[in-house]
Amino acid sequence: MIRIDATALGDLACGAAFLGSGGGGDPYHNRLLGEARIARRGPFELISLEQLADDALVVPCGWIGAPTVSIEKLPNGREAVDGLRRIERLTGRKVDAVLPIEIGGGNGLAPLIAAAELGIPVVDADGMARAFPESQMSIFSIHGLSGCPSILTGACGSLAIIETEDNHVHERIARQVSIALGGDAHMVEYPLTGRQTKDHAIPSSISTAIAIGAAIRDARQKGGDPFAALIAALQTSDLYPFGGILFDGKIVDLERETRGGFAMGRVAIEAFDGASRMDLEFQNENLIAWRNGAVCAMVPDIITIMDRETADSITTDRLKYGQRVKVLAAAAPHMLRSAEALSFVGPSAFGFAEDYVPIEALNGWDDR
């Protein structure tokens, strides 16, 4: 069992922010809640997939809605616990463990707080290996598992139960419910057995995020290059074999709106010498990037905009005109690159005409 203390929690927040590809919600609030909990009761408990009993009840959870809303609309603190308690009532048994539906952003930390309240561990795994904007884009859905029953809870105390046979329909219903609840809600979904979790969840993603954050922290403390440390951590992980810097410059244009329960928009970044430009489109998460008009990265690979001085990841809801940034990319895990997975999370799933090409091929990183 791994214990997540305050230092590891900070590393997790840093690593999850990068893996969010600009989405998943800013980890700041969940980090504060986690630090307060650690100060009161001690570290969080993290277990491996192998420690799960085959008949365990394991429930992924996280927040659904537009990250731009979550900046101003704080939770009441009971949403996750209330949702998990209702799952227990529906299934007639106790939840044995939880895991993030996505490791990216604030959702990578969210299950820790709920698990501590219930006295259960968090599994070192997740359902996306990054953040995606829609529920059916999880590895569980890609592998044919049902997202239902799912429970949505809002800060107002309202609760909704969704039962449907189709995960795309589930996403559409859940999105509308989250809008009705103020644009942001907590959701527990894809209730799993321990065996299903071991067979389908993406392993070691939480500990990998912690390692990424630790590498950045260590480089900062030693006066090294945090970007080089981040890329090295990616390359030594079992999940993200390639990574690198795509662009360095200043944000010169930004379009962003909250539409249909998502933060949608486009950002333009210009090199400091004015000789080159990068354009990115996002739907909560950064989806595709063009460098001087040519595609240089696309989903499911991770594209993250970072402060060029501090190496802090900047979520799409916190992008601002004039920010000086570096754009980094990481190769998605192999399980997200299969033909089946790409039909759920590749460029075509977001309406782009481009066929998926891995970032290492687009940028010549496969020769390293």
> Could you write out the DSSP letters of every residue in 89-119?
HHHTS---EEEES--SGGGGTHHHHHHHHHT
- Chain-wide mean pLDDT for the chain? 95
User: Each residue of 142-188: pLDDT tens digit?
Assistant: 999 999 999 999 999 999 999 999 999 999 999 999 999 998 999 99
Range of lowest pLDDT (64-68, 227-231, 344-348, 355-359)? 64-68
Residue 255 burial (10 A CB sphere; 0-12, 13-18, 19+)? exposed
User: Each residue of 272-282: pLDDT tens digit?
Assistant: 999 999 999 99
| 71 pLDDT tier (thresholds 50, 70, 90) | confident
Q: Which pLDDT belongs to residue 200?
A: 98
Specify the amino acid at residue 52.
Answer: L
Q: Which pLDDT belongs to residue 345?
A: 98
User: Each residue of 238-256: pLDDT tens digit?
Assistant: 999 889 999 999 999 999 9
| 323-338 burial: b if 16+ Cβ within 10 Å, else e | bebbbbbbbbbebbbe
Alpha-carbon torsion, ordered 219, 282, 152, 189, to 10 deg: -70
| Helix, strand, coil share of the chain (percent; to 5) | 40, 25, 35
Mean pLDDT in residue range 252-271: 95
Assess contact for 47 and 123: CB atoms under 8 A.
yes
Residue with tokens 């999850």: 16
Q: Which pLDDT belongs to residue 292?
A: 97
Report percent pLDDT > 70 for the chain. 99
DSSP string, 128-187: SSS--SSGGGSHHHHTT----SEEEE-TTS-EEEE--S-HHHHHHHHHHHHHHTTSEEEE
Q: If we measure between CA atoms, which residue out of 196, 202, 363 comes closest to residue 291?
A: 363
Residue 11 burial (10 A CB sphere; 0-12, 13-18, 19+)? buried
pTM, two decimal places: 0.96
Cα 128 to Cα 144: distance, rounded to the nearest angstrom: 14
User: Each residue of 15-67: pLDDT tens digit?
Assistant: 999 999 999 988 998 999 999 999 999 999 999 999 999 999 999 999 998 87
Domains and CATH numbers, the chain: 2-203 (3.40.1610.10), 242-367 (2.40.390.10)
Residue 294: pLDDT above 60?
A: yes
List all residues 6 or more positions away from 63 whose beta carbon is below 8 Å from its beta carbon: 25, 70, 106, 107, 110, 184, 185, 186, 187
